[in-house]
Amino acid sequence: MTAREYLTLLGQQWRWIVGAALVGVVVAGVAVLLTPASYAASVTFYVSTASNTSSADAYQGSLLSQDRVKSYTELLSGYRLGEEVVTDLRLPDDPQSVADQVSASVSPNTVLLEARVTDASPERAQAIAGAVGRRFPALIADLERPADRTQPPTVSARVVEGPVLAPGPVSPKPLVDLGLGLAAGLLIGVTIAVVRRSLDRSVLSLAQLAKLLPHPLLGTLPRDRHTDRTPLFLRDRPMSPAAESLRAVHGNLARPDGEGVRVVVVTSAVEGEGKSTLVVNLALAEANAGGRVLLVEADLRRPRASAYLGVPAGGGLAGLLAGQGALDEAVRPGGVVRLDVLPSGPLPPNPYELVESARMDAVLAEARERYDLVLVDAPPVLPVADGLALARRADSVVVVVRAGATRGALVRRAHELLVTAGVSEVGVVFNGVTTAVEGQYAGRYLTTPAPTPAPAPAPQLPAAVAPLAAVEQRPAGPAAPSVPAPRAVASHHRRPRHAPPRQQATGGQHRTPTQGIAVGDLVGRLAARGSRTADPRPPQERSS
């Protein structure tokens, strides 16, 4: 597997990985809570040989000390030292249990030896470390004393540091333990994901589907947890991602040259692929688009399409193929304008013989003449032979494959059967895909849009300019003087007028940015209005 495939795998199996990581953290947390706190005290020894005068003797003595230090680590955790510590502290414990609490370490390329004592009590740990510091040098002196008791020991050990008590408990360490639990959980989760992927033989990607079914992809339908409860998602949830994807599939059913496809058989490799849900929603899409559509429930073994639409069975297709009645009598309204349903009717004992008969050809031929589109819900092609018999009679066949459920070998076998049957017009619908599938849209375009903000109100003229509308709209010529109405009534009954065209401000005129009226023009209009208001005579008398 390539790095890209591993990343895709992690995206598909993220629930297992996250679950395993959470389990690892929980287990580590429980271990931290149940583990009693431990404290540590340490004491450091310096191991040396008897002093020598020459440098060669000193070098040999240094090598001897380093060699002895490696052996002394076993003595620090041995039974004999534990027995002496018990005697020194008068402990009721077994010497071996005390010795097990002592661990030794050597600094590389040095003659320093450290003894570390751990215990549930910090005082007890420090006391045992002190006893080790007192008893261990005497033990080394006794072991390294030559035969001549008058001579000093060849190697000696003396305390250079300690006993030193650690400032806090050395275990458990919550952050370290939780981090280790998280890392272990992630590792286990990734391992589970890889093992599941290696054992999974279902179709998980569009690339796999293209290799198994080398036919045009009509579209993909996303995984929708509400489909089982509301299979008519195009009617009940028209703005859902499933409904939008279904519209794309419906649009791809038309031929590229514009010639309409009249009879379309919808089938699958095995059961449980979602073909009945697809065919009823395709029928709704065609009816909504303005075409007359007939849904033929030709699955005479496990019919479901008519139940989704709430259509009673009646005689149905089975009775029609048995020679009982005509097509007009068997067809039922589908609850939507321009949608008719031919239900399966009572389940016959010989479904294959019925759909393979000439009567079936006559039914499809008559439906082809009456309807713009005939959708046939056929059984899967692998379990029974009915699906292939119906596929040979169709203009086009739609094969539904459910992602993560249909095994690749079954899809390949279905393709081989369709090729053998001479079916060439085949389209593929990949159902139940997730966002982890390469090329699947995972955006938020279909979410409810935010409300559009209301447009800003149009700027209002100042109160002194408002009456200008009535002045400018007065007809030319003489007019009788009128009594000015109250300001509130005039503003309430003011007729709307079109804004005057904007003019370039010249000279001393200054144009306001909001109203678009020259200040110079505004002053002139106000002056003219004031003169007319002050003199109530008609214009002819005022001019004279």
pLDDT in tens, 437-474: 655 555 566 555 555 555 556 555 454 444 434 434 44
Query: Do the bridges between strand 217-222 and strand 263-268 make them parallel or antiparallel, or are there none, so unpaired?
Result: unpaired
Task: Give dist(CA 225, CA 278) in Å, integer.
Answer: 15
Q: Which pairs from 315-320 meet CB under 8 Å and 24+ separation?
A: 315/345, 315/346, 316/342, 316/343, 316/344, 316/345, 316/346, 317/342, 317/343, 317/344, 317/345, 317/363, 318/344, 318/345, 318/346, 318/347, 318/348, 318/351, 318/354, 319/345, 319/346, 320/345, 320/359, 320/363
480 falls in which pLDDT band (50, 70, 90)?
very low
Residue 317, pLDDT score: 92
Range with lowest mean pLDDT among 112-126, 200-214, 408-422, 507-521: 507-521
Question: Over the chain, what is the mean pLDDT?
Answer: 80
pLDDT at 384 exceeding the cut of 90: yes
Residue with more model confidence, 143 or 86: 86
Task: Give dist(CA 140, CA 453) in Å, integer.
Answer: 90
* Cβ atoms of 360 and 327 closer than 8 Å: no
Average pLDDT over residues 312-323: 87
CATH number, domain 38-171, options 2.60.40, 3.30.460, 3.30.1890, 3.40.50: 3.30.1890
pLDDT at 288 exceeding the cut of 70: yes
Task: Give dist(CA 503, CA 248) in Å, integer.
Answer: 53
Q: What is the pLDDT of residues 19-64, one digit of tens each?
A: 999 999 999 999 999 989 999 999 999 888 765 555 555 555 566 6
Residue 340, pLDDT score: 95
Average pLDDT over residues 105-129: 89
122 falls in which pLDDT band (50, 70, 90)?
very high
* Cβ atoms of 279 and 218 closer than 8 Å: no
Task: Give dist(CA 269, CA 376) in Å, integer.
Answer: 16
- Is the pTM above the cut of 0.75? no
Residue 247, pLDDT score: 94
Locate 129 and state its tokens.
């470390």
Average pLDDT over residues 288-315: 91
CA neighbours closer than 13 Å in the CB half-sphere of residue 326: 2
Burial (CB count within 10 angstroms: exposed 0-12, middle 13-18, buried 19+), residue 280: buried
Residue 184, pLDDT score: 95
Q: What percent of the chain has pLDDT over 70?
A: 74
pLDDT at 371 exceeding the cut of 60: yes
CA distances from 544 to 364, 478, 527, 528 (A): 97, 14, 20, 17
Average pLDDT over residues 144-164: 80
Locate 481 and state its tokens.
């003087």
* CATH architecture of the domain with range 206-444: 3-Layer(aba) Sandwich (3.40)
Residue 12, pLDDT score: 75
Phi, psi of 512 (to 5 degrees): -75, 145
* Cβ atoms of 275 and 322 closer than 8 Å: no
Q: Where in the chain is CATH 3.30.1890?
A: 38-171
Q: Where in the chain is CATH 3.40.50.300?
A: 206-444
Tokens 């085949």 appear where?
A: 426
Residue 303, pLDDT score: 92
